[in-house]
Amino acid sequence: MPYGISYAGAEADYNSADAVIFGIPYDHTASFKAGAREAPWAVRRASYNFEEIHFEHGLDQPRLELYDYGNCDDFVLPEDMIEEVNFAVKPAIRDKKFTVAIGGEHSVTVPIVQNYDKDDIALITIDAHLDSRDDYLGSPYSHACVTRRASEHLGIDNICAIGVRAIGAEELDREDVIPFVTAFDVMDNGPEWAIKKAMDGVKNDRIYLSIDIDGIDPAYAPGTGTPEPFGLLPIDVKKIINIIGERLAGFDVVEVCPPADPSGITSILAARLINEALAVYAKHSKR
């Protein structure tokens, strides 16, 4: 892709790449404010804001070879989105690349997770919402059903949501509640405690981390479709990525909504979190 369009530093070809970036511009199940389909380009643009290195990870740190796949085609029906995402991510997961996806809304995480073996990964989300409904507004693939769909593949003992502060009554009033750590408990006990609790609670060792940007407080990440007060601090999410460390298997950032982000600060944060995940993966995979 031409310079300025691909993610900053994504200069490798597919075969030599350690990590592959995917844009998934899908937002057709968005329940409140659409616009996340514009995020892959906004976050790529924001990626040019940063230094090539993040010094706190060490000046001699190995760098990842990065390939930018570009964007998946956009479809209206979630079933078509799922087929398109399968087509895009299946080879990269098979070839043991570190996959980084830029949503789109949160429903794009489901087909990515389903492409991993069920015994390979656990899903940890950062999210204001539990996203554990059986279906929402008539669709089982809504962004309000992400952890439920993922649990049907990985098992409920391989899921945990961190930063949750908005849950529907029907999500709690059932036997198989998706495990979660509230934003209030993160504030009281710290991000170190929260991520250790989540990692100790899941069965599989490798962690796929999905960051719904609304998990972070809307003061820091206002550009999202369903903002929810009382969220996590960006620095706490940075710490969480670092503590996951060598267990990090895949990563996405979803629900950035550029039309609701006139200053661009939410896309900047999303790109910085991607850089953090890439730096942490490099530190543990290339030494």
Query: Which sign, positive or negative, has the C-alpha torsion 53, 54, 57, 58?
Result: positive
Cα gap 11→202, rounded to integer Å: 35
DSSP H helices in the chain? 39-46, 78-94, 109-114, 146-154, 169-172, 183-189, 191-201, 234-244, 265-285
Percent helix, strand, coil in the chain, to 5, is: 40, 20, 40
The stretch near Mn ion (CB under 5 A) out of 85-93, 100-108, 114-122, 196-204 is 100-108
- Minimum CB separation of residue 91 from Mn ion in Å reads 26
Q: Return the residue of 44, 97, 106, 247 that touches Mn ion, per CB under 5 A.
A: 106
Q: Which is nearer to Mn ion, 149 or 272 (CB)?
A: 149
Q: Does 165 contact Mn ion by CB under 5 A?
A: no
Least distance CB 163 / Mn ion (angstroms): 9
DSSP structure class, residue 32? S
CB-wise, 145 or 271, nearer to Mn ion? 145
Contact (Cβ atoms closer than 8 angstroms) between residue 248 and residue 209: yes
Distance of closest approach, residue 231 Cβ to Mn ion, in angstroms: 10
Q: Least distance in Å: CB of 19 to Mn ion?
A: 23
Tell me which stretch binds Mn ion (CB under 5 A): 39-47, 80-88, 131-139, 154-162. Answer: 131-139
Q: How far is the CB of 235 from Mn ion (least distance, A)?
A: 20
* Residue 214 contacts Mn ion per CB under 5 A: yes
Q: How far is the CB of 242 from Mn ion (least distance, A)?
A: 22
Instruction: Tell me which residue of 177, 179, 129 sits closest to 159, measured CA to CA.
Output: 179
Judged by DSSP in three states, 217 sits in coil
Pair type for strands 121-126 and 159-164: parallel
Instruction: Examine residue 252 and tell whether it contacts Mn ion (CB under 5 A).
Output: no
By CB under 5 A, tell whether 105 contacts Mn ion. no
- Which of 212, 217, 236, 261 is in the footprint of Mn ion by CB under 5 A? 212
Q: Which of residues 253-282 bind Mn ion (CB under 5 A)?
A: none
Read off the tokens for 133: 């409904």
Residue 217 as a binder of Mn ion (CB under 5 A): the answer is no
Q: Which residues lie closer than 8 Å to 262 by C-beta, 6 or more apart?
A: 223
Nearer Cβ to Mn ion (84/212): 212
Residues in contact with Mn ion by CB under 5 A are: 106, 127-129, 131, 212, 214
